[in-house]
Each structure stands twice: as structure tokens, then as C-alpha cells.
Amino acid sequence: MIRDSQDVIVKTLSRLLVPFMVIYALYVIMHGHHSPGGGFQGGVILAAGFVLLVVSHGLEQTRKRLSEKAAGVLSSIGVFIYAGIGALCLILGGNYLDYGKLSKLLPVVPAEARSLGILGVEIGVALAVMAVMFTIFLVIFTVGEFPEDDRSEK
């Protein structure tokens, strides 16, 4: 169903648009803790950039950038960052996700350590959401397309 678009207008426009979408998503993630937005919305916008890439440049070109296996690894890394920051606070003597305790590791005051901690959690959430949204998109759009795909047999 997804094939390479032959339209030069679609290809050029999406090539121009995707970097701006990624920059906007990074802005949303980075400013998530003191303005509307955050990891979830930024991750969804990142995934929308990949969806636009699939629609305009085809599945094979996008698989070179981000394959299904890499998406699975990225989603695991996102969950690991989230849980790891929480467990790190637990190890340092606080409660789970008690970011103030991170000031023992970082050379900052506890108030700034809280800000950096929530930023790290947002980055983890954004990675996980992007990878999972992209995987759901690929699964829905390619189901039954490649019966000779060796993933299903082995």
C-alpha cells in the first residue's frame, strides 16, 4: 500500500517540512516542564515526522533511517531512562522519582536538579512514545503486505 511517491512537489515539500517538525518537537520536549507540551506530545510530533517521511519517500527509504528493530530498541531505551532516573533517586536515598536527590551527583542545587530530572524523564517518555507510535503505524500499514517476511516465520 505504501509505495514511493513519484510527485516532485510532495517529495520536496516533505523534505523541507520534516526538519522543522523535528525542531518543533524538540522545542516542545525541552520546554515541557514549564509550558504546555511535554514528552508525550513531543514524541507524537516526532512520530508524525516519520509518518510524513513514509508517505512521501516510501517505506524502504524510511527503514534505512529507523527500522522496526531500532524502534523497538529505542522504546526500551526510553522506558529505561524513565525508570533509571527514578531508581537512581531511590539509590541516592530519596523516594522514587524524587529528583532533588540528584543534586548529590550533579554539581547543582536541589531546585535545579529537580528541573534537570524532569527534563530527563521527558526525554525518556518522548523516545518511548515516538518509537511505539512509529511501530503501531508500520504494523497497521504493512499488515499482510510482506507474507515472505522472515520475522513472522522464525
Contact residues for another protein, defined by CB under 8 A: 1, 28, 36-38, 40-41, 44-45, 47-48, 51, 133, 136-137, 140-141, 143-144
> What is the distance between the alpha carbons of residues 40 and 123, in angstroms, rounded to a whole number?
9
Please check whether residue 129 is in contact with residue 40, taking contact to mean a CB–CB distance below 8 angstroms.
yes
Smaller CB distance to another protein: residue 89 or 118? 118
Question: Closest separation between CB of residue 1 and another protein, Å?
Answer: 6
Question: Closest separation between CB of residue 11 and another protein, Å?
Answer: 19
84: cell is 533509571
Smaller CB distance to another protein: residue 36 or 147? 36
Smaller CB distance to another protein: residue 102 or 119? 119
37: cell is 507540551
Smaller CB distance to another protein: residue 38 or 86? 38
Question: Closest separation between CB of residue 19 and another protein, Å?
Answer: 18
Please check whether residue 25 is in contact with residue 49, taking contact to mean a CB–CB distance below 8 angstroms.
yes
Question: Closest separation between CB of residue 132 and another protein, Å?
Answer: 11
To the nearest 10°, report the CA torsion of 11, 17, 19, 21. -130
Contacts of 96 (CB under 8 A, 6+ apart): 86, 87, 89, 90
